[in-house]
Structure formats: structure tokens, C-alpha cells
Amino acid sequence: MTAVLFWKEMNALRILGLDTSGAVASVAILDTEQHKLLGEHTIYTSRSHSQVIMPLCKNLLEDCKMSVKDVDCFAVAVGPGSYTGLRIGISVVQGMAMVNNTPCIGVSTLEAMANRVFGAEHILSVIHARGNLFYCAWFSYQIYMHYDPEFIDRATPDELQTLDKIAEVVDHLEIHQRIIVVGDGAEEFVKQYETLKGAKSERLRIAPPFLRLQSAVGVCHSAAEYCNSHKELPSASDLTASYLQAVQIQKKKSDL
């Protein structure tokens, strides 16, 4: 089932975004009419997201003097990321959305992280899977004239790639172009890349810690971009997690 909103309403939404795809538990509320981040609660925690995410949501709504019924659209990171974390985030958003049959947008974790960094020709968003394997996607910075003048363009889909394959892309980009690396796999990727090349890279710039990790702010920003290009928004029942590793394993089995 699809929840329908008229186009004139798309630029006046209060979006509650949520990210539990990694070690960070994060919730944020964005007001697209005022072009304002109303609030954000983010915590780097070793506890289960099931223990912390609902209190974070409750406290943020209270701080913003809102209730679940005041939210016009929910957004959640749907992967890649922690299997358990993704399921928790999606379940929490689905539960809140059912109160008013509020639209829900599933956002790529990699895109949400990239959507917090602007001003670079290329943005590489990475999550370390294991060994020399990384979930990754490439983005570029562009300027548009709608909700917010700054959005990113996606250059590649979310993929599970080896270090060598990602390094090939890095090496083929023009030498003068800047590459900002974001994600909780940023430091590990740059470390492995420099080991592979046998020298320190002057091209790869790791985003600062406060912009590097998962954040619901990026989820809200990606959702706002989606709302600006769609007249109909998906419902809670449309949310599904993106498990790239499972897809990769399934493909290998089908090749046998």
C-alpha cells in the first residue's frame, strides 16, 4: 500500500529520521518548510539498539514539543549494516508510522552518510564488512534549486566490493580531484589502500569524526530529497532491509 501526499505538501514536511544500522543509535527531526533541523539525539553505544532507540525517539519528540501524530514522514536507514540493527530500526519506524498510516522512506545507509558531506568532487561512502571487503558507493556533489540547494548525485549503486576493485576506481579519477571518505569503514579503507600502494595517499581525505559515522541527520536529508522528486510516498509495509552480503552469497551459489 502506498501513502499519497499532494505535491504542494512536499516542501512542508516534518521528517523523523532514524539510523540503527551500525554502532551509533541516532534519531533526528527535520522541518523542510523552515529548512531547519529541529533536533538530533545520537549516541555511540555498546548496548543493544532495542534498549536505547525508543527512549531517544521519545525524548526528542518531547524536546521538540511534538508527538508521533505530528510527524508527516518517517525515514530509516535500511542498509547495508548490522543485520539486527536494521531490523530494529525498521520495526520501530513501522510501529510509529502505523498510528496515522504515516509515509515511510527507506534510505541507503551509505547515501545517508554521504549526504552529510558537501564540497568535494567525489565522496566515497564505506562500511567495513570483513577482511578486504567493503560495502561501498560513490557520490558526487551537485547544486540544485529545490528544498535545499545542496544535494549529492549517486554515481554507483550500493555494492560489496574488494579493496582492489575500489582502489581501481580511486586510481582512475583525475589526480587533482578531491575524494572525501565517509563511513565507519573510512579509516580502515584508507589504511588498507595506503598499505596496498606502499605510500601515504594525498588524495583521500577522511571526513572528521562528527561527519563520518551514521547519523539520522543524513537519513532525513536523503528522505527530503526523495520527497522532492516523488508525488507518492511509500508506506510502512513497503520497508525492507538491504542485506548486500546475503545477495552476494546467493549469487555465488547460483553460479555453481
Which CATH number characterizes residue 95's domain? 3.30.420.40
Q: What is the pLDDT of residue 147?
A: 44
Q: What is the pLDDT of residue 142?
A: 62
149: CATH: 3.30.420.200
Domain annotation covers residue 122: yes
Residue 66's domain comprises: 2-109+214-250
Per-residue pLDDT of the chain (256 residues; tens, 9 = 90+): 555 454 445 667 999 999 999 999 999 999 998 889 999 999 988 778 889 999 999 999 999 999 999 999 999 999 999 999 999 999 999 999 998 999 999 999 999 999 988 777 899 999 999 999 999 999 987 654 444 445 688 999 999 999 999 999 999 988 778 899 999 999 999 999 999 999 999 889 999 988 999 999 999 999 999 988 888 899 999 999 998 864 444 444 444 4
Query: For the chain, how many structural domains are there in total?
Result: 2
Q: Grid coordinates standing for 208?
A: 572528521
Compute CA distances 54 → 19, 27, 59, whole Å: 12, 9, 9
* Residue 79 near residue 245 (C-beta atoms within 8 A): no
Q: What is the pLDDT of residue 175?
A: 79
Q: What is the pLDDT of residue 152?
A: 80
The answer on 134 and 103 residing in a single domain is no
Strand-pair category, 133-143 with 159-162: antiparallel
